[in-house]
Amino acid sequence: MNPAQAGPQGPYDRLEMAAGPVTFEIDGRSVRDLNGNGQLDRYEDPRLPLEERVNDLLERMTLEEKAGLMFHPPIGIGPGGELDEPSMFGLGGTTQLVAERHLNHFNLYFTPDARTTAEWHNRLQRLAEATRLGIPVTISSDPRHSFDENPATSWAAGSFSQWPEPIGLGATRDEELVRRFGEIARQEYRAVGIHVALHPMADVATEPRWARILGTFGEDFEAVGRLTAAYIRGFQGEELGPASVACMTKHFPGGGPQADGEDPHFPYGKDQVYPGGRFEEHLRPFESAFAAGTAQIMPYYGRPIGTDLEPVGFAFNREVVTDMLRGRFGFDGVVCTDWGLVSDLPMPDGSVWEAKAWGVEELDTAERVARIIEAGCDQFGGENLPEVVVELVRSGRIEEARIDESARRLLRDKFRLGLFESPYVDPELAATLCGSDEFRAAGAEAQRRALVLIANDGVLPLSPGARIYVDGLSAEAAAAYGEVVAEAADADAAIVFRNAPYEPRLGTFIESVFHAGSLEFPDDERDRLLELADAVPTVLVVHLERPAVLTELVGACAAVVGSFGASPDAILDLVFGRFSPSGKLPFELPSSMEAAARQLPDVPCDSEAPLFPLGHGLSYGA
């Protein structure tokens, strides 16, 4: 039958007739015939039960199309919001990835403004709609609402509202605030076409040297669990639906206990250790995530050492993914590996980022892919190897029924997110909603609530109009609060902003953006701060992306403030008393580097004679 003459199945009213996709009205909603054949196939009919739609689509798919579902590489946005042709990531052009390699899950990295991002998203969905089955694309993202930017872990806010880092949300200990953040972030994500959040981190920051503490909610197991659940409910709602963003909670079974505080993005950080015997406690926040309905889970790169588990990376580990995650906890959602477990990745500076195949480094590409599938994972983060899955099935190594299990989970989330009914977004709405005054005001208040007044000899709050010397903070912003002077000797007080110390890693480009190693300021920087504090009452503001050692500085400075992602105005509002501090430390501050190094990596709050304990925080008048 000619598609232009074909009638839809069931009592539908045709709204549009064209050579391509057709739109029907069902129960007052517009539904697109993605196939463009003039009738709705069963998988396109939103009135049918979810599993029936999933099974119908799965039966129509080729092995190559099923394999394409299982890969989740990065994608770029071309100039002016055009498709990225060829890909900035060296993966072939977007058209090739979608139309020829059958990929339809992508991780979005760099973005322009909200309107342009939305326009690009619609072009991508039109490309997907023109494929044989019209399966819509799912777009994911790392966090996009804060201050720090690390291309391997998070992005600064840009067009979105700006909030404290997750560790700052932990400093508020406020579930309702965290849920409100999730609700706002969800709206901004969906407005530009982002459907999956590669977060939250349910890891507990029990090793103070770890570079990923910024993305956690802190060192308290109970608080991390509560805030993780609130975060998920903000993004997803009470259940996953067309207005939700699916959360891929990470890093199962808890990425905090890193040997020597090193991170398993790199070979020297591949080991997770449990000398305190606390493996089970690190699972507790994930139980809260399951109770909140997290749609997806990401295992971490690390391999467990000194446990009864096989010492291989968690995504290669059947005991962890199938026996524990799926069996013990009954999780039947999508399990996606962390990024780059199979293939080495060339970097912009010419270096090569080694595949994180910890414990199975000797395996070739096909063997690594097979191990991950056999472990129970559904999807390969950062990879583009569908032909390997096809060959594993055709060679008899992997049963196609096993591929169907993963495909079914991945399709189920596309349906639940409403992508088959409404794959497109409104660029005009994206431009007005993302970073709206209301959303920015909510983020600005959260920045202030996350600030922690660690020490104060009475100098704070400063008097309006005080003569101030600023270092590391915008002099232009400070001029709205006091008289900015050029020399410290002329000031009533100095306000100094510093990032928490770390040891620069210069091995590769990507290592340089992970802040690890020592928690102490270098001697020359410490001495300069001490000299300033001796000359003028000094307010030291430290961005605590990790729990810095501040013992000598606390003793010398008139006041110390902990920041976790805050604008200059937010900091100055606290310093000048326009906002009374209420945040509490989400981790303890060790008294020395030696004490930090002697902590057990899997045990919280076990530093000897900490400078300040977990939960410490002053307020004005107390």
Q: In the chain, what are the domain boundaries?
A: 50-433, 451-598
The DSSP 8-state label assigned to residue 511 in this structure reads G
Helix, coil or strand: residue 153 = coil
Crossing angle of the two packed helices 365-375 and 386-394, in degrees rounded to 10: 80
Cα–Cα dist 309/280, whole Å: 13
Length of the chain: 622
Lowest mean pLDDT among 283-297, 335-349, 457-471: 335-349
- C-alpha angle with apex 198: 93 to 583, nearest 5 degrees? 140
The DSSP 8-state label assigned to residue 521 in this structure reads P
CATH of 451-598, one of 3.40.50.1700, 3.30.470.20, 2.70.70.10, 3.40.50.970: 3.40.50.1700
| Mean pLDDT value across residues 307-312 | 97
Cis ω before 3 (30° cut-off from 0): no
Residue 281 has pLDDT above 70, yes or no: yes
Q: Which fold has domain 50-433?
A: TIM Barrel (3.20.20)
| Mean pLDDT value across residues 90-96 | 85
- The pLDDT tens digits for 5-55 are 233 344 334 334 334 466 777 776 667 676 666 677 889 888 899 999 999
Cα dihedral angle (63, 68, 71, 73), rounded to 10 degrees?
Answer: 160
- The pLDDT tens digits for 204-251 are 999 999 999 999 999 999 999 999 999 999 999 999 999 999 999 999
Cα–Cα dist 291/293, whole Å: 5
> Is 338 known to be catalytic?
yes
Helix, coil or strand: residue 60 = helix
369 C-beta neighbours (distance < 10 Å), count: 25
- The pLDDT tens digits for 519-541 are 999 999 999 999 999 999 999 99
For 74, 402, 613, the CA distances from 383, given in Å and listed in that order, are 8, 19, 42
Closest CA to 552 of 571, 580, 528: 528
Q: What is the mean pLDDT of the chain?
A: 93
Q: Choosing from 174, 263, 338, 573, which is the catalytic residue?
A: 338
Cα–Cα dist 375/378, whole Å: 9
Helices (H), 425-546: 427-433, 437-450, 475-478, 523-535
- The pLDDT tens digits for 359-388 are 999 999 999 999 999 999 999 999 999 999
Q: Which helix (H) or strand (E) holds 192?
A: helix 175-192
Helices (H), 249-346: 284-292, 318
